[in-house]
């Protein structure tokens, strides 16, 4: 086991633990006075409630926030307004809202007893709200959420009593409207939806069956459709969000967790061979998450739909894996400790006490347009639901009522994890027409750095959260729905005869992805080639990648403690007239100064140095007020913008950058 670098003297750490509330009850097997102290940077990085029982966080912090929203919706009805957003307005953009309202507010009833002072208020209010929202648009995920709520309420006796939570008239309408056929074809193919919706469709059909609204045939067929999709487009056990284009992201890790959660929720039995396959895929997602365990409760760091969902996706997978006994006893304890950090992070970071709401949109934060602020009520409720239902699974195992293992024990476990990993998603068969899709992970102490080599595919291929660049919480980040050239060049051609100039980026067409680790595990080299660029603007470009063979490239990354280097060689297929080459480094670090020759240093932040070779000019921009530099967790501070003016590109060009960051280090909840 590698010795952790985060060890202080006993006296100083003990004093800090007292000052920071580090004296929370340790987990079983970790009696006080037998452990090395924990570095103050770790204690500062993790949520304050990291050593608190998960169920206590849920009861004291999450349920009261739902209660306040319940009172507001009950009082304001369809005119409910949150932070200037008319949440039930026809143009709100939240097509899942009635379902999210149903599942979110159901927890108030399910966690109350008839003797509680607010029990009748919850019962009457729930019935009134379900009547009120019956004609509000509710699709796909919203259908599933609503059915899930109804099934929970039915099992608890709230649908069939003399004083039901949903009126008979409304329930009769729901029976017709909550149907998988609204987004699935008769042959069980999805209607213009990404593949993660197979899990939604199966869940809807299964819950309808449990409610007595239809037979079992559709749910059985959709389950097989889902499993067959995995087998067809998931050569290494991870779901491609497209039909083979290679978009592997948060959903690819999460989807198997969602599927297994739905099997648990609906108590569906599957064939032994299918169960073995599902457990195998679930274990592979667990292994990806294990390499990303960290003190702060941070989740995945690249791709779309991140913000709080980046964290809760890991909580969903881990709770499913624990329930299905895919984890060892030790792994269950560590998974619970990490899931507790995720729950605490939501309460302390994502929830804004000043506004009484989740915040994914303001104070320097930004998420995809798909999860815009118009969905503020629904996002509050769906995220709370994810944390509440995973907490319920941990309660079944007896974990949620207990404190997690101590921070020291948690850190010691992280110190046993491998330094590096290559997770294969697709390709790697050596065929000339095949592109490799994978995720490289480098652990520098408690800092996790990701290098995804994937295809953002339709819509996302040209956005920088899908670039093949390093990502690390609160140090290196993309920005949702933006295309500025973060840490990789963009070549703009001079020919404007066809209108918008054509721009090419090194994305989508990577092959021969290889990794090589040094004998001591400290240095990792990653290399790949591209037989074409992705044309992202101009004639031929569009929503999907456009293969442009006029430039090919080779790329080499070197990861070592405190330093990342990327070196590219771009080779033109004949002389090309370029108007410019651009590259940026948007950073959380601030106080930039330069020593000349494109070398920069920072006075504050995790990154303290950056340098570039192969481009002619570099300037520094303050981007704190620019929304295009707001990441899911907070605003970038500065951007170093490098470029080369018009030229004829006829011989190979090498572009190299190197960044240095403080090591050892640890990513906290928020940017420094």
CA distance 150 to 80: 23
State mean pLDDT over 331-360.
Answer: 98
101 close to 381: Cβ distance less than 8 angstroms: yes
CA distance 338 to 332: 10
Please say if the pLDDT value at position 27 is more than 70. Answer: no
Please say if the pLDDT value at position 3 is more than 60. Answer: no
Please say if the pLDDT value at position 235 is more than 90. Answer: no
User: Per the domain annotation, does 131 fall within a domain?
Assistant: no
Which pLDDT score, from 0 to 100, does residue 7 have?
38
CA distance 441 to 470: 9
Please say if the pLDDT value at position 638 is more than 70. Answer: yes
Domains identified in the chain, total number: 1
- Our measurement of the distance from residue 356's CA atom to the centroid of its chain's CA atoms, rounded to an integer in Å, reads 23
Which pLDDT score, from 0 to 100, does residue 222 have?
94
Nearest-5° angle of CA 396, CA 399, CA 402?
135
Please say if the pLDDT value at position 28 is more than 90. Answer: no
- Categorize the per-residue pLDDT at 20 as very low, low, confident or very high, splitting at 50, 70 and 90: very low
Closest CA relative to residue 400, chosen from 59, 61, 111: 59
User: Per the domain annotation, does 380 fall within a domain?
Assistant: no
515 close to 420: Cβ distance less than 8 angstroms: yes
- The residues, ordered by sequence, that sit 6+ positions from 9 with a Cβ below 8 Å of its Cβ are 37
CA distance 128 to 118: 15
Q: Which domain holds residue 522?
A: 420-666
CA distance 598 to 604: 19
- The residues, ordered by sequence, that sit 6+ positions from 603 with a Cβ below 8 Å of its Cβ are 590, 591, 592, 593
State mean pLDDT over 332-353.
Answer: 99
The H or E element containing residue 526 is strand 524-530
Please state, for a pLDDT cut of 70, what percent of the chain lies above it: 95
pLDDT digits (tens, 9 = 90+) for 441-496: 999 999 999 999 999 999 999 999 999 999 999 999 999 999 999 999 999 999 87
Please say if the pLDDT value at position 8 is more than 80. Answer: no
User: Per the domain annotation, does 327 fall within a domain?
Assistant: no
Q: What mean pLDDT is reported for the chain?
A: 93
pLDDT digits (tens, 9 = 90+) for 224-233: 988 887 877 7
User: Per the domain annotation, does 632 fall within a domain?
Assistant: yes
State mean pLDDT over 155-172.
Answer: 97
- Categorize the per-residue pLDDT at 534 as very low, low, confident or very high, splitting at 50, 70 and 90: very high
CA distance 40 to 34: 18
Please say if the pLDDT value at position 540 is more than 90. Answer: no
Q: Are strands 665-666 and 437-453 parallel, antiparallel or unpaired?
A: parallel
Which pLDDT score, from 0 to 100, does residue 220 have?
95
User: Per the domain annotation, does 167 fall within a domain?
Assistant: no
State mean pLDDT over 509-533.
Answer: 97
Please state, for a pLDDT cut of 90, what percent of the chain lies above it: 87
pLDDT digits (tens, 9 = 90+) for 258-273: 999 999 999 999 999 9
State mean pLDDT over 36-58.
Answer: 96
- Categorize the per-residue pLDDT at 92 as very low, low, confident or very high, splitting at 50, 70 and 90: confident
Which pLDDT score, from 0 to 100, does residue 50 have?
98
User: Per the domain annotation, does 582 fall within a domain?
Assistant: yes
* Between 35 and 657, the higher pLDDT residue: 657
Q: What is the largest CA-CA distance in the chain?
A: 81
User: Per the domain annotation, does 448 fall within a domain?
Assistant: yes
Which pLDDT score, from 0 to 100, does residue 196 have?
78
The H or E element containing residue 198 is helix 197-210
User: Per the domain annotation, does 404 fall within a domain?
Assistant: no
Which pLDDT score, from 0 to 100, does residue 11 have?
32
State mean pLDDT over 163-192.
Answer: 97
669 close to 296: Cβ distance less than 8 angstroms: yes
Q: List the CATH number of the domain containing 457.
A: 2.70.98
280 close to 452: Cβ distance less than 8 angstroms: no
pLDDT digits (tens, 9 = 90+) for 63-81: 999 999 999 999 999 999 9
Please say if the pLDDT value at position 313 is more than 50. Answer: yes
With H, G, I as helix, E, B as strand and everything else as coil, classify residue 463: coil
pLDDT digits (tens, 9 = 90+) for 112-124: 999 999 999 999 9
State mean pLDDT over 94-119.
Answer: 97
Which pLDDT score, from 0 to 100, does residue 34 have?
57
């Amino acid at each position: 086991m590698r010795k952790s670098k985060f060890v202080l003297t006993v006296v100083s750490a003990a004093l800090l633990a007292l000052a920071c509330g580090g004296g929370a009850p340790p987990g079983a097997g970790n009696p006080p006075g037998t452990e090395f102290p924990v570095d103050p940077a770790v204690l500062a990085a993790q949520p304050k409630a990291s050593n608190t029982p998960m169920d206590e966080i849920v009861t004291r912090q999450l349920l009261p926030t739902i209660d306040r929203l319940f009172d507001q919706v009950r009082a304001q009805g369809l005119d409910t307004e949150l932070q200037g957003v008319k949440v039930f307005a026809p143009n709100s953009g939240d097509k899942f809202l009635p379902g999210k309202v149903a599942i979110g507010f159901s927890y108030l009833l399910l966690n109350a007893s008839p003797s509680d002072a607010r029990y009748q208020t919850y019962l009457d209010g729930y019935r009134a709200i379900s009547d009120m929202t019956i004609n509000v648009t509710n699709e796909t995920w919203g259908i599933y959420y609503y059915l899930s709520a109804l099934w929970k309420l039915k099992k608890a006796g709230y649908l069939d009593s003399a004083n039901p939570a949903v009126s008979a008239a409304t329930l009769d309408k729901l029976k017709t409207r909550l149907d998988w056929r609204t987004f699935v074809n008769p042959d069980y193919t999805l209607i213009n939806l990404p593949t993660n919706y197979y899990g939604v469709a199966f869940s809807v059909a299964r819950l309808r069956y449990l409610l007595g609204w239809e037979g079992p045939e559709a749910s059985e067929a959709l389950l097989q459709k889902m499993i067959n999709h995995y087998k067809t487009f998931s050569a290494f056990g991870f779901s491609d969000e497209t039909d083979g284009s290679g978009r592997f992201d948060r959903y690819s890790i999460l989807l198997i967790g969602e599927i297994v959660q739905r099997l648990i929720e609906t108590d569906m039995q599957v064939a032994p061979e299918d169960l073995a396959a599902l457990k195998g895929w679930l274990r592979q997602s667990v292994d990806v998450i294990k390499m990303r365990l960290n003190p702060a409760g941070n989740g995945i760091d690249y791709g779309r739909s991140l913000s709080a969902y980046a964290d809760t996706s890991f909580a969903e997978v881990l709770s499913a894996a624990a329930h299905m006994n895919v984890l060892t006893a030790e792994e269950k304890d560590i998974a619970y400790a990490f899931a507790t950090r995720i729950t605490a992070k939501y309460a302390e970071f994502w929830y804004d006490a000043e506004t009484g709401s989740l915040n994914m949109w303001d104070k320097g934060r930004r998420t995809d347009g798909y999860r815009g602020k118009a969905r503020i009520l629904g996002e509050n409720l769906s995220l709370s639901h994810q944390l509440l239902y995973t907490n319920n699974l941990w309660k079944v195992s007896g974990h949620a009522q207990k404190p997690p293992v101590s921070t020291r024990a948690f850190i010691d476990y992280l110190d046993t994890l491998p330094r590096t990993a290559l997770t294969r998603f697709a390709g790697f068969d050596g065929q000339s027409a095949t592109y490799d899709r994978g995720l490289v992970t480098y652990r520098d102490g408690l800092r996790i750095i990701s290098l995804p080599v994937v295809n953002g595919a339709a819509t996302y291929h040209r956005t920088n959260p899908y670039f093949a660049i390093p990502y690390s919480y609160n140090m290196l980040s993309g920005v949702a729905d933006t295309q500025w050239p973060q840490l990789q060049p963009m070549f703009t051609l001079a020919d404007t005869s066809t209108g918008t100039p054509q721009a090419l980026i090194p994305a989508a067409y990577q092959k021969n992805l290889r990794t090589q680790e040094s004998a001591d595990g400290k240095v990792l080299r990653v290399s790949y080639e591209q037989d074409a660029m992705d044309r992202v603007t101009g004639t031929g470009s569009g929503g999907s990648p456009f293969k442009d063979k006029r430039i090919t490239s080779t790329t080499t990354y070197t990861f070592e403690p405190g330093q990342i280097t990327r070196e590219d060689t771009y080779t033109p297929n004949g002389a090309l007239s370029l108007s410019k080459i651009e590259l940026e480094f948007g950073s959380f670090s601030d106080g930039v100064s330069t020593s000349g020759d494109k070398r920069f240093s920072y006075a504050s932040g995790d990154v303290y140095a950056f340098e570039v070779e192969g481009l002619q000019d570099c300037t520094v921009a303050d981007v704190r007020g620019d929304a295009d530099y707001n990441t899911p967790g907070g605003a970038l501070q500065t951007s170093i913008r490098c470029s080369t003016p018009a030229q004829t590109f006829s011989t190979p060009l090498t572009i190299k950058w190197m960044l240095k960051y403080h090591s050892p280090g640890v990513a906290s909840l928020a940017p420094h």
